[in-house]
Amino acid sequence: MTGPVDRNAACSVKWCDETGTHTVHRKYLASVKGGLRDGGLVGVNLAQRVQPRASVCVEVTVTTPWASTADYLFAAASVPEITSALTEAAERATELGGTVRNQRD
Ligand SMILES: [Zn+2]
């Protein structure tokens, strides 16, 4: 153990769930089955790049069985606007005959 970083060492940032070496501090908040036929997982995290004066952002990750994880950092201030846009889009999609869960069960 001569390296400066212990692989299992807890991060010094109190809310961070990551251990060992990482480039983004991250707290895992939610994981939602978001895709068609429950084919994907949408994760919502708090995230902050490990660099001076980085702001804490809202990170959304999308994991599917057929592709590697995609992730995106949103500025916290923009999230309410994105949320209302998503909500409105979902309402419209439902009105137009959106996916009914377990339609064929
Ligand atoms: Zn951390």
- Per-residue pLDDT tens digits for 37-77: 777 899 999 999 999 999 999 999 998 877 778 889 999 99
Q: Is 71 among the domain residues? A: yes
Distance (Å) from CA 38 to ligand 1 centroid: 30
Question: Is residue 78 in a domain?
Answer: yes
Report CA-CA distances (Å) from 87 to 59, 80, 104.
18, 10, 25
Give residue 5 CA to ligand 1 midpoint distance, Å.
12
pLDDT tens digits, one per residue of 7-46 = 678 899 999 999 999 999 999 999 998 777 777 899 999 9
Mean per-residue pLDDT of the chain: 86
| Ligand 1 centroid – CA 90 distance (Å) | 34
> How many angstroms is it from 41 CA to the middle of ligand 1?
23
Establish if 82 belongs to a structural domain: yes
- The count of structural domains within the chain is 1
- Is 14 part of any domain? no
Residue 62, domain member (yes or no): yes
Instruction: Confirm whether 22 is domain-assigned.
Output: no
Domain contains 10: no
Task: Tell me how far the alpha carbon of residue 26 lies from the centroid of ligand 1, in angstroms.
Answer: 6
Say if 18 falls within a structural domain: no
61 alpha carbon – ligand 1 mean position (Å): 17
Q: 48-77: string of b/e by CB count within 10 Å (b at 16+)?
A: beeeeeeebbbbbbebeeeeeeeeebbeee
Closest-CA residue to 26 (of 7, 42, 48): 48
- Domain range for 50 is 28-95
> How far away, in angstroms, is 21 Cα from ligand 1 center?
8
What whole-number percentage of the chain has pLDDT above 70?
A: 85
